[in-house]
Amino acid sequence: MRATRIAVLTIDLGANDLLGHLGSPTCRANIRGAECAARIDAAIDTFEVNIASILDQLKPRIEPGTEFYVMTIYNPFDFGIGIPFEADSNEIIGGMNATLKAEAARVGAKVADAYPLMSGNAAVWTHMLTQSDIHPTADGYQALPFAFAQARDN
């Protein structure tokens, strides 16, 4: 039996851990409040440890020549209408994406930057308005590969 070679490996991590806090009643009521800040800080601390650990475990197992991509986190609360919660949540997610980019560079992975692609499009490209679900719609899933194509070309 012949072994299967993995040609492309993509990783999309961390969003659910943070976004559950951002979408909580506590943070929706006051994203800058102490209780919300504590929840978000704890989630980010855990995320930073976990992403480094996961990438450290994956990197030595990836075959030479495998294309390795880490996708940034998009903001499912960014509807493009300019409310303060969008700016605050974009700032938080921006910090997490800085960590993702640094960790990707550390292990030699390319970054598929979905964040700017999805910015302002959450109403159409996620299920947030219809189901309070952060995951992409069919159209959103059609848009995400563009981030990987851009990363591949860079």
pLDDT digits (tens, 9 = 90+) for 99-137: 999 999 999 999 999 999 999 999 999 998 999 888 999
Return the sign of the alpha-carbon dihedral for residues 148, 111, 100, 79: negative
Q: What is the mean pLDDT of the chain?
A: 91
Please name the residue that has the structure tokens 């059609």: 142
| Contact between 19 and 44 (Cβ < 8 Å) | no
Q: Residue 104: its pLDDT value, please? A: 97
b/e map 51-81, b = 16+ CB within 10 Å: beebbeeeeeeeeeeeebbbbbbbbbbbbee
Architecture of the domain spanning 8-153: 3-Layer(aba) Sandwich (3.40)
Sequence spans of domains, the chain: 8-153
The two structure tokens encoding residue 108: 């030699």
pLDDT in tens, 24-77: 898 888 888 999 999 999 999 999 999 999 999 999 999 999 999 999 999 999
